[in-house]
Amino acid sequence: MTTKHEQPTVFELSSTGRAGFRFPQPDVPSAELDPALERSDLPMPELSELDVVRHFTLLSELNYAVDLGFYPLGSCTMKYNPKICERTARMPGFSQLHPAQPIETLQGALLLVYEMQDILQKVSGFTAGSLTPAAGAQGEFCGVKMIAAYHADRKNDRRKVMLIPDSAHGTNPASSVMSGFTVKPVPTDARGNIDLDGLRALCNEDLAGIMITNPNTLGLFDENIDQVTGLIHQAGGLVYGDGANMNALLGVVKPAELGFDVLHFNLHKTFATPHGGGGPGAGAVVCTDTLAPFLPGPLAAVLEPATEELPPLYGWKMPEKSIGRVGAFSGHFAVIVRAYTYCLMQGADGMRRIAEHAALNANYLMHALKNAYPLPYDRTCMHEFVLDAKWEDAPGVRALDVAKRLMDYKFHPPTNYFPLIVHEALMIEPTETESKQTLDAFIEAMLAIAREAHEQPELLHGAPFTTPFGRMDEVKAAKDLKLTA
């Protein structure tokens, strides 16, 4: 189904000979090109500047963004991104820098990176950190690589097994395999915690470590966490913390005190920098003293301490046994400026309020919805919760149908079919930035959809009806790829 909103592609809009740009006369001598590199045709779209402006402005009106409406995408922490963070990131003193400038001319930027490393250490309870990873999955990869480097440094080649709970993020096994580990899954118990008996059976001399997301992807705080980290440490393994869900713990719980050895932050989730289609992520890693020599670099460091006349000289430093660089230069600096601004704006009490309100909002939604939607793990949740959208008296209705129908109610659908241990999962994370009015409007829409599921299921199967395109054929989209014009 298409509607009046359907936009032709720039290729379809193209008109031979139309141009929006004219190259200036060269002011340097022209060079001879190898004829083998020349071609006579270049099928680029030909449009005027106005054609291009209208095309992309129209397309941008079809976007959905957190600036337009509620975005309860579980595990993604789609909170409001304060505009003041955009202002600071655009200050010329930050935006006009080049990372290869002499450090003497970068002292303000280096101080900011140094202080941000320190903020993340204070929030997590760790003593070292690196801001260089470019996104969450890369931060996670670094953390796992550091565990591999730690065992290799101790000449402990047997430790090749990484344990991963079955509720984990999908990137966890990928990071482990890329670091040379074999993955073994750990089961979840009936309350949604890591199954301790299942874990004990896996603790042996082959154990390298475990990757834990706490709160986990069910939005539940693991009640056995200290026993879990204790068992792993006794067996000689290390504990990696997936910090994707740090929004639930800010200012309340320090992962280092729970027995984690290394943790990544998603600055773009927890510290409100734009993500998804909105910009790059940043996946800082923090760790204990034991793992600090293995951190990816470079780190911002004090090269010369302050004197009576001069402030300290900041610069870059590679940790002693570093796993190396994971990108050019020193991470997504402009994202770090935004996250730093956000942290200073919140202060220590603000951090705690973020976690408290994120958990309050999630529990408010969960309690309002749990009589209309099955809730497989019925416990006080943290920042998110998972419904199982299937009803015996409404056969044929699936999580996908509920998600698509929400678009007709002008809400972004929640994450669906994740975590995998809940078959018709709808994973809902409201974040702390939504008002009670917004939450109530969402509850009303969800309750209306639950009624429709029983009374008019065709409305769910056909949804969405109000978007430029209707329901996509996902099977055809996955199998029948058309990658060329």
Contacting residues toward another protein, per CB under 8 A: 417-418, 420, 423, 474-475, 478-479
* DSSP-derived secondary structure letter, 240: E
Residue with tokens 């995998």: 420
Residue with tokens 């460091």: 301
User: Please, which residue, 114 or 417, has the CB nearer to another protein?
Assistant: 417
CB 475 → another protein: shortest distance, Å?
5
Helix axes 136-153, 171-178, angle to 10 degrees: 40
Residue with tokens 């290729």: 11
CB 318 → another protein: shortest distance, Å?
37
User: Please, which residue, 279 or 470, has the CB nearer to another protein?
Assistant: 470
Give burial (CB, 10 Å; 0-12/13-18/19+) of 376: middle
User: Please, which residue, 115 or 388, has the CB nearer to another protein?
Assistant: 388
CB 170 → another protein: shortest distance, Å?
8
Main-chain phi, psi angles of 310, to 5 degrees = -120, 145
User: Please, which residue, 20 or 170, has the CB nearer to another protein?
Assistant: 170
Quote the strand ranges of 359-464, DSSP E: 385-388, 415-416, 425-428
Main-chain phi, psi angles of 108, to 5 degrees = -65, -45
Question: Which residues are 209's β-sheet partners?
Answer: 162, 238
Residue with tokens 């996946």: 283
In whole angstroms, give the CA distance from residue 91 to residue 55. Answer: 30
In whole angstroms, give the CA distance from residue 268 to residue 131. Answer: 12
The pair of three-digit structure tokens given for residue 294, joined into one six-digit string: 């293995």
CB 147 → another protein: shortest distance, Å?
22
CB 123 → another protein: shortest distance, Å?
33
CB 176 → another protein: shortest distance, Å?
13
Smallest Cα–Cα separation from 119: which of 289, 248, 259, 286?
A: 286
Alpha-helical runs (H) found in 63-106: 83-89, 92-95
User: Please, which residue, 36 or 478, has the CB nearer to another protein?
Assistant: 478
CB 474 → another protein: shortest distance, Å?
4
CB 222 → another protein: shortest distance, Å?
21
User: Please, which residue, 54 or 160, has the CB nearer to another protein?
Assistant: 160
User: Please, which residue, 42 or 475, has the CB nearer to another protein?
Assistant: 475
The pair of three-digit structure tokens given for residue 235, joined into one six-digit string: 């067996």
User: Please, which residue, 37 or 478, has the CB nearer to another protein?
Assistant: 478
